[in-house]
Amino acid sequence: MPETLEQSAGRFDTVLIANRGEIAVRIQRACRELGLKTVAICSEADRQAPYGKTADSFLCIGPSTAAKSYLNQDAILLAARLAGAGAIHPGYGFLSENAAFADAVEKAGLVFIGPTASSIAIMGDKISAKRAMMAAGVPCVPGPDTALPDDPATIERIALEIGYPVIIKAAGGGGGRGMRVVPKADVLHEAIALTREEARKAFGSRSLYMEKFLEHPRHIEIQVICDDHGNAVWLGHRDCSMQRRHQKVVEEAPAPGIAPDTIQPVGLSCVQACLQIGYRGVGTFEFLYEDGAFYFIEMNTRLQVEHPVTEMTSGVDIVQAQIRAAQGHVLDLIQGDVTCEGHSFECRINAEDPETFLPSAGVVTHLALPAGPGIRVDTHIHAGYKVSPYYDSLIAKLIVHAPTRAEAMARMREALAGTEVEGISTNIPFLRALFEDGAFAQGETDIHYLEQWLKLRRAA
Ligand code: ADP
């Protein structure tokens, strides 16, 4: 008798978590709640990591530099084999969007907790991503879905057709790099030459494309979750417009002031796109939103830092859902079941100077974390924890949930007031000030707002 879908599911019982910090804690918790064993890994700098003590196995895979540990594919695969892991969860950052790694994991006979290598590759190239999205009816930023040619006259014609200002982007770009805004025609060719050279050096491909530069957009994104059996849902939207140097600082769900009728077709087109490319697991479609219209910019084929705000509003445990999808289970959720309630904010607490934003490493000598209804803290630090200079400065995520946006803001103010970190500098004073800001309280600020606010504060 053939197996039922549920019988064929449960492809693994031990998960290696190929990451560090707060997300390693978050994933380990989800695994344990699902009855799975966990393998934690670390670099030499992270030997004291608290999630190492609570994992079933804990292996040091290399020196402190990420390139020799968290990015060392062979070391991670060897650790998985030694510890008997059946699957690898990549978390975010590091190898999470590396198609070659996803492929190597599957070739080693393990499950990669994420989409297939080919989905990652399609979405990792911004041109092929845009093409796939256009084909699925997802609204995109005006501009061709092909690479720019070398012929100067053709490039000029494309820019004129789009209309200035335009933005030149590296097809293989990421992390806010490999982009250049072109305000007018006389600097077009210089911008192309510079971006091509940057792209070749940083991303190993000189492929570029061009699109309309939107001047006052908001950053709004849609969370999706898909199984291996042709089912997909979207879990509402988030606003991540509060950015400094293209890095998100505060996120919220839902995005304020967006009518359900406006977002509904966009969410459905994201689901459609997932079904068309055979997407598996969790993913995020990022959009710029300006003058009532949505424009796709990229898809992140992994779990995101800001997933908790969606968990708080939708009630869905996104990490568990992601692991279950990788196990081959059928999604236990249909679109009609998804209801988002209340409002959630997330603050990224970084070990950095609140004025200069320079990273601050050292020992946490005192730590007090807030608690109470609607408050969640995702962190790996404790009093005595040594913040290492080697990695991202994120040390904790403070998340709140309340019935309305105003109540959620008040709750975040209280939560920030109750957070004390001593021994290192953090951005907490800056976050406290931001949550007192009138325009932010009104909502609907654009992606440039935070930088302008910082400039005004410095000048005052
Ligand atoms: P990356 O992969 O490097 O993060 P994205 O394509 O997601 O690059 O863009 C990063 C940021 O750059 C966006 O959040 C937005 O602030 C800005 N940006 C990208 N494309 C445009 C555009 N067409 N118009 C205006 N701003 C843009």
Indicate if the pLDDT at residue 344 is higher than 60.
yes
Same domain, 447 and 315: yes
Residues with CB under 6 A from ligand 1: 141, 167, 173-177, 179, 211-214, 217, 219, 246, 286, 288, 297-298, 447
Same domain, 56 and 88: yes
For residue 194, give every residue at least 6 positions away whose Cβ sits within 8 Å of its Cβ, in sequence order, or none.
180
Burial 220-255 (b: 16+ CB within 10 A, else e): bbbbbbbbbeebbbbbbbbbbbbbeeebbbbbbbbb
SS3 (DSSP) at 412: helix
How far does residue 460's CA lie from ligand 1's centre (Å)? Answer: 29
Q: What's the rounded Cα separation, in Å, for the pair 100 and 82?
A: 21
Q: Whose CA is nearest to atom 20 of ligand 1?
A: 297
Is there a domain that residue 387 lies in? yes
Is there a domain that residue 128 lies in? no
Is there a domain that residue 183 lies in? yes
From 177, 212, 247, the end of a domain falls on: 212
Is there a domain that residue 72 lies in? yes
Is 376 known to be catalytic?
A: no
Catalytic residue among 180, 196, 302, 376: 302
pLDDT tens column, 260-295: 999 999 999 999 999 999 999 999 999 999 999 999
User: Contact 440/449 with Cβ under 8 angstroms?
Assistant: yes
Is there a domain that residue 135 lies in? no
From 185, 212, 239, the end of a domain falls on: 212
Return the best residue to mutate from 219, 297, 301 for the ligand 1 pocket (most ligand atoms within 8 A of CB).
297
Confidence band (pLDDT; 50, 70, 90) for 2?
very low
Q: Any idea what the CATH number is for the domain that residue 167 is in? A: 3.30.1490.20
How many Cα atoms occupy the beta-carbon half-sphere of 102 within 13 Å? 19
Range of the domain at 154: 142-212
Average pLDDT, the chain: 96
How far does residue 130's CA lie from ligand 1's centre (Å)? Answer: 13
Indicate if the pLDDT at residue 413 is higher than 90.
yes
How far does residue 6's CA lie from ligand 1's centre (Å)? Answer: 40
Indicate if the pLDDT at residue 188 is higher than 70.
yes
pLDDT tens column, 196-208: 999 999 999 999 9
Same domain, 205 and 224: no
Same domain, 10 and 75: yes
Return the best residue to mutate from 123, 162, 166, 179 for the ligand 1 pocket (most ligand atoms within 8 A of CB).
179
From 112, 132, 155, the end of a domain falls on: 112
Domain count, the chain: 3
For residue 425 the two structure tokens come to: 């500098």
How far does residue 146's CA lie from ligand 1's centre (Å)? Answer: 18
Same domain, 294 and 373: yes
Same domain, 159 and 234: no
Average pLDDT in the 104-120 region? 97
Same domain, 155 and 187: yes
Report CA torsion sign: 380, 386, 390, 392: positive
Short-list 7, 32, 54, 5, CA closest to 15:
32
Is there a domain that residue 231 lies in? yes
